[in-house]
Amino acid sequence: MIPFFRKIRNLPAGKAGKTADKNKPLNYMRYAIGEIVLVVIGILIALQINNWNEDRKDRILEKQILTDIKKSLIADLKNQLGPNKDQLERDLSNINTLITTYQNKLPYNDSLKSKYRSLMYSKAFKWEVTAYKNLENEGLDIISNQELKEKILRLYNMSYPEMETFIENFSKNLMSFYRPDMRTNFSFQYEGDENFYTPLDYEALLNDPVFMNTLLSARINFQNIFDHTHYTILQVKTVIKNIENELKP
């Protein structure tokens, strides 16, 4: 009887052992899948952290580049665009006074001596390029604001080069027509830092269509440069304002 009961008592344990053996592969599979899931999650977290760090670095770099561009544009306004516009206003005033004088055949007066200098002085426009070159080197996509990026590109790749073209056209006329006319028809006086120009034969110039063409051509040149300078100044101020808004915390 005792061996019989021992057999009955041990029977469930044997069945349990067989069941455990059968479940081992399933348990291993679950464990392996769990390990894989944990590894994948770890990789995704690491990638996310890396992407976050890279994005943070890009934003820091973007802020620095925009700050540098803003400084460059402020320098352009102060050192180039602003002074150029002021001088062009004086040039236009001088030329308009001369045109009115010659068209109406008004008598000569000494106040005209300083007006003729607008037909002698060259123009220049050299903008700050370092900050924009840094932007190109780092990649234009570093600027996340698409509208701001387009405005910066338009300014540096269109408006500034167009300004240079207008000045080059003026320089060609200056060398080919304005200065030769002045050297032929005027005497030059130098008083300190000031230059004055007196007609050799004022009455002859009043009736000289070539000199009138010189004056009219100069006015067109000055007006074109002035208009584009004024437009470019507005562009620069807009870009500066947009950069300031972008840099706000």
List, run by run, the mean pLDDT of 10-residue segments along the chain (249 residues).
Answer: 46 50 66 73 72 70 95 97 97 97 95 95 94 93 94 97 95 95 94 89 95 96 96 98 94
What pLDDT shows up at residue 45?
76
Shortest CA distance to 208 belongs to which of 190, 184, 191, 244? Answer: 184
Q: Which residue has the tokens 């679950």?
A: 30
Give the separation between CA 53 and CA 163, rounded to whole angstroms.
41
What pLDDT shows up at residue 37?
75
Shortest CA distance to 65 belongs to which of 136, 128, 146? Answer: 136
- Bridge partners of residue 194, in order along the sequence: 191
CB 247 within 8 A of CB 66: yes
Longest dimension (CA), the chain: 152
What pLDDT shows up at residue 32?
72
Phi, psi (deg, nearest 5) at residue 196 = -130, 150
Q: Flag whether the pTM goes above 0.75.
A: yes
Give the separation between CA 19 and CA 43, rounded to whole angstroms.
36
What pLDDT shows up at residue 1?
46
Radius of gyration of the chain (CA): 40
How many CB atoms neighbour CB 202 within 10 A? Answer: 15
CB 231 within 8 A of CB 84: no
How many CB atoms neighbour CB 40 within 10 A? Answer: 10
CB 73 within 8 A of CB 236: yes
What pLDDT shows up at residue 191?
82
Q: Of all helices (H) and strands (E), which one includes residue 23?
A: helix 2-76
Q: Which residue has the tokens 């820091």?
A: 60
- Bridge partners of residue 190, in order along the sequence: 195
Q: HSE on the CB side for 219, CA within 13 Å? A: 14
What pLDDT shows up at residue 193?
79
Give the separation between CA 110 and CA 98, rounded to whole angstroms.
12
Give the separation between CA 123 and CA 115, rounded to whole angstroms.
16
What pLDDT shows up at residue 11?
46
What pLDDT shows up at residue 108?
95
Tokens representing residue 105 in the block: 């055949």
Q: Which residue has the tokens 């944990």?
A: 38
- Bridge partners of residue 195, in order along the sequence: 190
What pLDDT shows up at residue 6?
47
Q: Of all helices (H) and strands (E), which one includes residue 217?
A: helix 209-247
